[in-house]
A and B are shown apart, each in its own frame.
Chain A
């Protein structure tokens, strides 16, 4: 089934630990995105990638890093987790910018992260 797979589904993490959230898509979409969703706030963009080999910073990039070695995978790493990074993280993919009518995002099921 075409779509986006995220892992883990949920994780409890001690502050200061390193954590990588995995994201894989099989739709051959050019663009991929990482968002965080917090109660009462809209989805906030952390990092994005318009095509394999390139990445960019979103609205809230501090404390996070990404890589895009190939089209399918877009992992998000928290180098040293802090409690304010407790959130639900969504990975998404789309055809990318330049043709806004086609840039419908498909989201993964989300990763719920709790940092204690």
Chain B
């Protein structure tokens, strides 16, 4: 079956760095997406990886290892506004997205 695993909740301190991990099992693979979702709001796109390696975009970076079925989202210089849920989604061979349940990130002052 197809499956996405990510931690349910994480806590970090303002100004620090946090890494949110995601492992996936899909029928075929066409890329890995990360979305941010603030409470009560819609998910918004953060990053997309289809090749192995690190993609950096400002304070946020995303890493992919296709051989390990593994990705992580790295958030640097954490700000209070980064408190949100982070959704990992893998695209299968039919170009359908398989979503994880999301990781709720709590930022403390």
Q: List residues of chain A with CB under 8 Å of any chain B CB.
A: 40-45, 48, 58, 90, 97-98, 100-101, 103-110
Contact = CB atoms under 8 A, between A and B. Distances in A.
B42 A90 contact: yes
A100 B99 contact: no
A44 B99 contact: yes
B101 interface: yes
Which of B44, B95, B100 has the most C-beta atoms of chain A within 10 angstroms of its own C-beta? Answer: B95
B42 A103 contact: no
A100 B35 CA distance: 15
Contacts of A105: 35, 43, 45, 97
Q: Which secondary structure dominates where chain A touches chain B?
A: loop
A40 B85 CA distance: 12
Interface residues of B, number: 25
A43 B45 contact: no
B99 A97 contact: no
Contacts of A40: 8, 101
27 contacts: A40-B8, A40-B101, A42-B87, A42-B89, A42-B98, A42-B101, A43-B43, A43-B97, A44-B99, A45-B96, A45-B97, A97-B94, A97-B95, A98-B95, A100-B31, A100-B50, A100-B95, A101-B31, A101-B48, A103-B95, A104-B48, A105-B35, A105-B43, A105-B45, A105-B97, A107-B44, A109-B42
